[in-house]
């Protein structure tokens, strides 16, 4: 899966980003096994207060060759009361500075869990189910991208 972010607008200290997803069918790890039905994706970003994660859930069939644009924008707080700040660069992604330093460091604020979806067991992946690496994908909330 490839993910692209685009800054759409800024209101005060909050920036709003458009998110796009694409299945990279040319990648060497693209699932070509006959049992592979596509991919599941759990995508999350921090809430405005930073205390929770906001999740979106998707199923991408192997046959999907387009670009899916998430219909709602992702709001991210970019400046904080302690003086720390987040930054966005289209090429480098998200970074941050702390109140005592202007040095920008990579910000790991977006979390994604992506795994193959198998025809033989479509409800269990590394993102969901009893033996999941991280049980974050919720099939009941998933949007199937066509």
Give me the pLDDT at residue 134, please: 86
pLDDT > 80? residue 131: no
Do residues 74 and 19 lie in contact, with contact meaning Cβ atoms separated by under 8 Å?
yes
pLDDT > 90? residue 42: yes
Percent of residues in the chain assigned helix, strand, coil, to nearest 5 = 0, 50, 50
Residue 13 pLDDT class (50, 70, 90 cuts): very high
pLDDT > 90? residue 76: yes
pLDDT > 80? residue 81: yes
Output the pTM of the full model.
Answer: 0.88
């Amino acid at each position: 899966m490839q993910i692209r972010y685009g800054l759409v607008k800024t209101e005060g200290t909050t920036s709003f980003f458009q998110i796009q997803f694409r299945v990279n069918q040319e990648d060497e790890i693209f699932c070509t096994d006959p049992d592979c039905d596509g991919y599941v994706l759990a995508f999350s970003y921090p809430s405005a207060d930073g205390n929770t994660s906001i999740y979106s859930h998707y199923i991408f069939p192997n046959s999907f060759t387009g670009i899916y644009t998430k219909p709602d924008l992702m709001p991210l707080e970019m400046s904080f009361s302690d003086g720390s700040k987040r930054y966005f660069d289209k090429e480098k992604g998200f970074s941050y500075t702390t109140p005592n330093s202007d040095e920008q460091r990579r910000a790991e604020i977006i979390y994604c869990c992506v795994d193959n979806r198998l025809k033989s067991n479509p409800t269990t992946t590394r993102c969901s189910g009893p033996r999941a690496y991280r049980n974050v994908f919720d099939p009941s909330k998933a949007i199937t991208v066509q």
